[in-house]
Chain A
């Protein structure tokens, strides 16, 4: 297979997208069913064509075809196969093609599984989807063509950035893009609804599963990236408020808000304009993330393509997509009929509070990320906005959000009783107090922030379980009946319980590892011992060792309890990649429930010692476990039959017993 086939397939996909973006739209406006039906065929054809294009590029990577410029500059024959494959998207051009591929996968999914969507809405949503695709195809073909040939071909390639040669990072971009691009579905549905001038409960029911899927992928992608930064960069941190990280957090925050406001539209027919707005904003932030990373407007530790020419193109794309949809929103938004009314203290009120706090947090992170750009454009000063700013604005918004998260699900729709809900949470309050005591007793450093974080985590965790107990009427009925109710609970309810509880677990981990982290940096010679985090760490020596495409300096650390009983030997590496002339750090990590012992080997010293860095990171595994629960919650909720696209949906109100019989 040659890359020319791929190039040709991509050009064809562009023309199919132009067809899909025009004819079905016209058909929907004129009520012409056969024109509208073109959208389905076109979406499937686009998927096939882009899959061929992507397959051709991947093939060129696997066989190391260095006559292709993209392969020559990003791959090398001595690279393990996994990283040859991952190399396909480990560069700017390939990652844009991956973006396009995911976009058409979602489009094809609507065409294949969205059979009982109203035909007009489906045609229009696919039409909008095609407009986005046209923008990306043009971008790839004109500014970032991965199929360019190189003549004469070099004997070997330049290699992939060694930092990226890691399983965590190999799969980080695909998940992130599944999230980013997944939000394009909500966007397309929102724009289609604005064109139609109708947003109702069934619209929200169509949007929710797509949003939920995108949210689940994005959560997973962010966690993979964070995990990678944690063990690969060797700084012992898992979040740096770097512009690229913020770029992924922003759509996550607004996407989380969207996920919750869509519930209000579906159940109560309220917050319609706001939900449409959030759908547009969430995808806009996904696009903005791409822009920030790739245009060279902001610098970051891991931006991998800096090119103003592409920047101009992306800016034009942003203005058309974001500006256009906001203009449409300004024009059609006021005509959306107002929905049901509710009291401030109610389930809707709680979800609204969630939305306000999440979107304020997103706005604050956006401002902090863009502030250096805004200031430079205004005054010419160069500044960088770091963790202190983000911590100062983000955490005070998250604290009330988490506090309210335990209460919201206990409130009924329309009008609730705050006192009654709080009275139910007596156990959660007790747990919060217990967590404060535990944090006080276990950790040395006294930190009000740390204790508050622990209190909130316990409050949310027990609060979420309290809500679950209420739903299955634990203690009120026999355990057997409770169990049957638990099995019969809608999957979406289980999803919420898992996701909220997972967040609580993650918060405990984030708090402890930020506040009570221990760090020791020193020169160690063989036999030197350092005590950290309840471990005695002895340096057992270092030596060099060749790897498949690198040379490694391997340092060994003997880990023992303070009383001397040995536990394990940890091996930390510092790898040198000669092709790329670059070093990477492979930290040695010993994980337990209490936390990670994290060891890094550094430069050899003249006196025969080595610079070593040792960290004890309390509860870090809780972060990964908690996020894992959140992702699991998303997956479980997606399997809810009421969400499944194509399933007949006619359930009004909550009927636990009937639902129990139905979900067996």
Chain B
């Protein structure tokens, strides 16, 4: 390269820099578009559920333990009578129960009043195969719960496969949860 050409390049370089930086940035945007920023990864995904044993709700005989999850694919739903968004997803859980697609287990999380959970289920319907009372977050810690409602897909070996943050809607069910469950149920 001649000295003149090199000087010409040096003169052009600052003018080229913005374009180069923008091309890099656009590449990142392209990658970023494919990702959902609302998705919060959980370190417990693909790990077995830590052992827990929850007491029965007031007026019921059986609680809910980690052993109950072995043997079939199941949904574990974290709810509370205090949680407004839980009331929104509740009719949808009732529908899943009616259709019998997958058993749902309930964790009644952080109830201050032991009557509140049973009363809530009596009022809105009980979609759960088993419900455990979890006022002290024992099971919630085993699942790594960050808030309610949250729902986990647990496979037949008791390994957490998916975490859904926020209420289940028809869209979430059709596009995300049900395909995973069907795949796991198929083996």
Interface residues of A (CB under 8 A from B): 273, 277, 280-281, 284, 291, 295-299, 306, 308, 311-312, 315, 318-319, 322-323, 326-327, 329-330, 333-334, 370, 373-374, 376-377, 382, 581
Contact = CB atoms under 8 A, between A and B. Distances in A.
Interface stretch (B29-37, B44-52, B122-130, B148-156): B29-37
Contacts of B30: 315
Contacts of B37: 296-299
Contacts of B35: 376-377
A382 B32 CA distance: 12
B18 A296 contact: no
Given A318-B29, A330-B19, 15 more contacts: A284-B22, A291-B29, A295-B29, A297-B32, A297-B33, A297-B37, A308-B33, A311-B33, A315-B26, A326-B19, A330-B12, A330-B15, A330-B18, A377-B28, A581-B84
A10 B73 CA distance: 52
Contacts of A334: 11-12, 15
A315 B33 contact: yes
25 contacts: A273-B15, A281-B18, A295-B29, A297-B32, A297-B33, A297-B37, A299-B37, A306-B38, A308-B33, A312-B33, A318-B26, A318-B29, A319-B26, A322-B22, A323-B19, A323-B22, A330-B12, A330-B18, A334-B12, A370-B28, A373-B29, A373-B32, A377-B32, A382-B40, A581-B84
A71 to B, nearest CB: 23
A306 B29 CA distance: 15
Contacts of A273: 15
A315 B29 contact: yes
Interface of B: 11-12, 15-16, 18-19, 22-23, 25-26, 28-38, 40-41, 84
A231 B29 CA distance: 34
Nearest to A363: B21
A296 B19 contact: no
Contacts of B22: 284, 322-323, 326
Dominant SS among interface residues on chain B: helix
Contact of A299 (B11, B16, B23, B38): B38
Nearest to B88: A581
A113 to B, nearest CB: 31
Given A296-B36, A297-B37, A581-B84, A329 B19 contact: yes
A319 B27 CA distance: 10
Contacts of B19: 323, 326-327, 329-330
A193 to B, nearest CB: 14
Contacts, number: 66
A374 B26 contact: no
Given A297-B33, A322-B22, A373 B28 contact: yes
A576 to B, nearest CB: 11
B41 A382 contact: yes
Nearest to B25: A370
A291 B28 CA distance: 13
A328 to B, nearest CB: 9
B39 to A, nearest CB: 8
Nearest to A322: B22
Contacts of A297: 29, 32-33, 37
Contacts of A299: 37-38
A333 B15 contact: yes
A329 B23 contact: no
A611 to B, nearest CB: 15
A419 to B, nearest CB: 33
A295 B12 contact: no
Nearest to A326: B19
A311 B37 CA distance: 13
A24 B37 CA distance: 43
Contacts of B18: 277, 280-281, 326, 329-330
A376 B32 contact: yes
A295 B18 CA distance: 23
A323 B26 contact: yes
A194 to B, nearest CB: 11
A276 to B, nearest CB: 10
B134 to A, nearest CB: 21
Nearest to A303: B37
B113 to A, nearest CB: 10
Contacts of A330: 12, 15-16, 18-19
